[in-house]
C-alpha cells in the first residue's frame, strides 16, 4: 500500500492545488490532518473518479491514503494521522455490503477502546459525475421541510408531512408555527410522496417498511404504490401502474431507517444509487441487509430529528453507532469484536446476569451484533446537514477552561425530559446523551459526575440516559484531559 501520495502521483487528476503535509502543526476544523480521503489505487487511477478524489482533497485540505486490494490496508496511516473525519471514495462496484462492514470495523481500530474513532462516510454514486456533484456541495443544509413514509415527530420539525405505512389514507402534516394536523388523504400516496421530492423540495426524506435493492413498498399493512429504481433513475409506480419519474437536484438527505437492503449497492439498478443520482441525495443512511432488530436504523431519528439542530446527520449516525457499541460493551463485551457475516444472525449467545437484570434477551444481544456493521452512511461526513433549530428536551453545554471540561445537562421537560419523544419503529427511546469534544483529548480524569457512569473517549462524552428526572435538578460531568489537537 502507498500510505500517502505525493503531488506527482496525482498529476493524472490535473490537480492544481498544493497538498499540505499529512500532519500539519496547526490543523483547523475539517482541514489538514483532520480529514483523510481513503481510496483504492484502481479508483484513483480512473480519470473520472480521480476528479472526485481531488475535489475532496482540495475541499478539506485532506491527507490522501491509497490502498491496493483491501480497505483494511489503510489502518496504519489512519492510526498515524488519527483524523476527525475519514471519507472512503468507492466506485459502486466496490461499495458492497462487505465494504461497508469493513469500513465500520476498520474505523474502530485506531485505538484500543471499543468505539468508533472517526466520523466516516462513503462517497460513491451512480457514476463519477454523480459522486462529483455530491462532494462539490459546500453550502450547509438546514432541514426545514420533512417528508416521510412513516410516523415521525413532526412537532420537532419546522414543517412537513408523514403518510402512515400502517393505515391507508392516514396522514399528519405541519405548517411553520403551527401544531401537527391529522387528516385523511388518498389510499395511494405514491404521487404525493413523489411530489414532496420534485415540487415541494423536502430537505429530509424518511422511509420504513418492506423494501429491496430495487423498490420500496409504500404501504406496509395495506396496498399502496412503490418507489422503484432503474439505471440511476428513481420513479414512483402507483396502484394503477402509472409511473412518476422523480427528478430533482435539490440537495437533501435521506434516512431509510427501517427498510431492508435500501443501502445495499448490488449493481447499477440499486435504489441507493438512484436516490443519489436522480433525487439530489447528498447524504444517506440505510441498511445493507435485511433488518429485523432496528437499533442502528431507527435510533438515528432520536438524535437527528428529535434533538433538532444539535447534530449534523453524520454526527447523529455516529452517535447512534456509539450508543449501540456502548450497549454491547456494557452487557455483552464479546459482541463488540464478534466476527459475523453482514446479515447473519449471531448464534450461541449467552446472556449475562447483568444483561438479564437490565431486561435484555438473547434476541436483543443478537440484534445489536447484527446491526453493528450493516448500516451505511453515504456522503461526505464533514458536509453539514442539520435540522432547523428547535426546542430540545434538555440543554447540554460542553465548556473547557485550562484543561478542565464541564458538560452540563439542564432538563427542559420536567419528569418527561429523558423519556422517548416518539416510539414509532423498533428499539426506540432512552438513548444515551452524547456530546462531541471540540478537539481530541487523552489522559482523562473524571472529577465530578462519576455516579452518572459517563464514558469519555478522545472525541466524545456519552452519559447513559438518566430515565428519571428530579424537578430542578441539572446533571454535570467534570473532567480533566490533555488536548491532543
The pLDDT score that the predictor gives to residue 4 is 55
Domain that residue 92 falls in: 7-123
The sign of the dihedral angle between the CA atoms of 157, 375, 249, 149 is: negative
Read off the C-alpha cell for 387: 435540522
CATH code: domain of residue 119: 3.40.50
What is the mean predicted confidence (pLDDT) over 287-294? 98
pLDDT higher than threshold 60 for residue 189: yes
- Of the residues 60, 92, 123, the one at which a domain ends: 123
Q: Percentage of the chain with pLDDT > 90?
A: 92
pLDDT higher than threshold 50 for residue 16: no
152 in any annotated domain? no
438 in any annotated domain? yes
Report the number of secondary-structure helices (H) and strands (E) in the chain.
Answer: 11, 25
Mean pLDDT (the chain, rounded): 93
177 in any annotated domain? no
Cα–Cα dist 375/368, whole Å: 12
Confidence of residue 11 (pLDDT cuts 50, 70, 90): very low
Under a CB-based contact definition with an 8 Å cutoff, are residues 180 and 173 in contact?
yes
The pLDDT score that the predictor gives to residue 223 is 97
325 in any annotated domain? no
174 in any annotated domain? no
User: What total number of domains does the chain contain?
Assistant: 2
Under a CB-based contact definition with an 8 Å cutoff, are residues 332 and 324 in contact?
no
Under a CB-based contact definition with an 8 Å cutoff, are residues 325 and 319 in contact?
no
The pLDDT score that the predictor gives to residue 232 is 98
Cα–Cα dist 155/158, whole Å: 8
pLDDT higher than threshold 70 for residue 368: yes
Cα–Cα dist 294/407, whole Å: 30
CA angle 54, 278, 311 (to 5 degrees): 65
pTM of the entire predicted model: 0.94
57 in any annotated domain? yes
Q: Which residues, in sequence order, are CB contacts of 449 under 8 Å at separation 6+?
A: 407, 463, 475, 476, 477, 478
Q: Residue 207: which H helix or E strand, with range? A: strand 204-207
CA-to-CA separations, 239 to 150, 165, 229, 236, 259, in angstroms, rounded: 19, 15, 16, 10, 20
The pLDDT score that the predictor gives to residue 279 is 98
pLDDT higher than threshold 70 for residue 6: no
- Of the residues 90, 123, 156, the one at which a domain ends: 123
pLDDT higher than threshold 90 for residue 234: yes
The pLDDT score that the predictor gives to residue 24 is 30
In what side-by-side order are the strands of the sheet with 433-436? 433-436, 460-463, 455-456
- Of the residues 96, 123, 150, the one at which a domain ends: 123
| Pairing outcome for strands 433-436 and 460-463 | antiparallel
The sign of the dihedral angle between the CA atoms of 477, 420, 337, 259 is: negative
77 in any annotated domain? yes
Cα–Cα dist 457/449, whole Å: 16
The sign of the dihedral angle between the CA atoms of 440, 119, 148, 256 is: negative
187 in any annotated domain? no
Cα–Cα dist 69/41, whole Å: 8
Q: Which residues, in sequence order, are CB contacts of 370 under 8 Å at separation 6+?
A: 292, 293, 340, 343, 344, 345, 346
Cα–Cα dist 351/363, whole Å: 10
Model confidence pLDDT, tens digit, residues 126-141? 999 999 999 999 999 9
Read off the C-alpha cell for 217: 413498498
Model confidence pLDDT, tens digit, residues 24-71? 333 333 445 799 999 999 999 999 999 999 999 999 999 999 999 999
Amino acid at each position: 500500500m502507498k500510505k500517502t501520495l505525493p503531488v506527482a502521483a496525482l498529476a493524472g487528476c490535473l490537480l492544481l492545488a498544493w497538498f499540505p503535509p499529512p500532519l500539519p502543526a496547526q490543523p483547523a476544523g475539517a482541514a489538514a490532518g483532520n480529514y483523510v480521503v481513503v481510496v483504492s489505487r484502481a479508483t484513483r487511477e480512473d480519470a473520472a473518479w480521480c476528479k472526485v478524489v481531488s475535489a475532496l482533497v482540495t475541499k478539506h485540505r485532506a491527507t490522501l491514503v491509497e490502498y491496493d486490494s483491501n480497505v483494511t490496508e489503510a489502518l496504519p496511516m489512519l492510526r498515524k494521522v488519527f483524523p476527525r473525519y475519514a471519507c472512503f471514495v468507492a466506485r459502486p462496484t466496490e461499495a458492497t455490503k462487505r465494504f461497508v462492514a469493513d469500513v465500520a470495523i476498520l474505523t474502530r481500530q485506531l485505538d484500543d477502546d471499543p468505539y468508533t474513532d472517526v466520523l466516516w462516510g462513503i462517497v460513491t454514486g451512480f457514476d463519477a459525475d454523480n459522486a462529483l456533484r455530491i462532494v462539490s456541495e459546500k453550502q450547509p443544509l438546514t432541514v426545514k421541510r420533512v417528508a416521510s413514509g412513516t410516523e415521525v415527530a413532526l412537532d420537532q420539525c419546522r414543517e412537513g408531512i408523514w403518510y402512515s405505512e400502517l393505515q391507508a389514507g392516514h396522514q399528519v402534516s405541519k405548517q411553520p408555527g403551527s401544531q401537527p394536523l391529522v387528516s385523511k388523504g388518498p389510499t395511494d400516496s405514491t404521487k404525493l410522496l413523489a411530489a414532496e421530492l420534485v415540487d415541494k423540495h423536502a430537505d429530509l426524506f424518511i422511509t420504513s417498511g418492506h423494501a429491496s435493492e430495487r423498490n420500496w413498498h409504500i404501504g406496509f399493512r395495506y396496498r399502496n404504490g412503490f418507489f422503484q429504481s432503474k439505471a440511476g433513475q428513481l420513479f414512483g409506480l402507483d396502484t394503477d401502474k402509472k409511473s412518476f419519474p422523480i427528478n430533482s437536484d435539490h440537495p437533501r438527505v435521506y434516512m431509510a431507517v427501517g427498510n431492508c437492503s435500501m443501502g445495499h449497492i448490488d449493481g447499477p439498478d440499486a435504489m441507493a444509487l438512484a436516490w443519489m443520482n436522480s433525487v439530489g441525495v447528498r447524504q444517506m443512511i440505510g441498511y445493507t441487509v435485511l433488518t429485523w432488530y432496528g437499533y442502528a436504523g431507527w435510533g438515528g431519528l432520536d438524535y437527528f430529528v428529535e434533538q433538532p439542530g444539535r447534530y449534523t446527520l453524520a454526527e447523529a449516525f455516529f452517535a447512534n453507532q456509539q450508543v449501540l457499541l456502548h450497549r454491547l460493551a456494557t452487557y455483552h463485551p464479546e459482541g463488540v469484536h464478534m466476527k459475523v457475516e453482514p446479515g447473519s444472525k449471531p448464534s450461541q449467545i449467552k446472556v449475562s446476569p447483568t444483561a438479564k437484570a437490565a431486561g435484555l434477551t438473547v434476541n436483543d444481544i443478537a440484534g445489536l451484533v447484527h446491526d453493528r456493521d450493516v448500516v451505511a452512511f453515504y456522503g461526505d461526513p464533514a458536509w453539514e446537514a442539520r435540522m432547523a433549530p428547535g426546542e430540545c428536551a434538555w440543554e447540554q453545554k460542553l465548556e473547557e477552561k485550562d484543561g478542565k471540561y464541564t458538560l452540563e445537562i439542564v432538563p427542559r421537560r420536567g419528569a418527561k425530559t429523558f423519556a422517548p419523544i416518539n416510539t414509532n419503529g423498533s428499539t426506540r427511546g432512552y438513548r444515551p446523551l452524547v456530546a462531541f469534544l471540540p478537539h481530541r483529548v487523552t489522559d482523562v480524569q473524571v472529577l465530578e459526575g462519576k455516579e452518572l457512569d459517563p464514558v469519555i473517549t478522545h472525541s466524545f462524552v456519552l452519559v447513559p440516559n438518566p430515565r428519571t428526572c428530579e424537578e430542578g435538578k441539572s446533571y454535570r460531568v467534570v473532567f480533566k484531559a490533555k488536548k491532543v489537537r
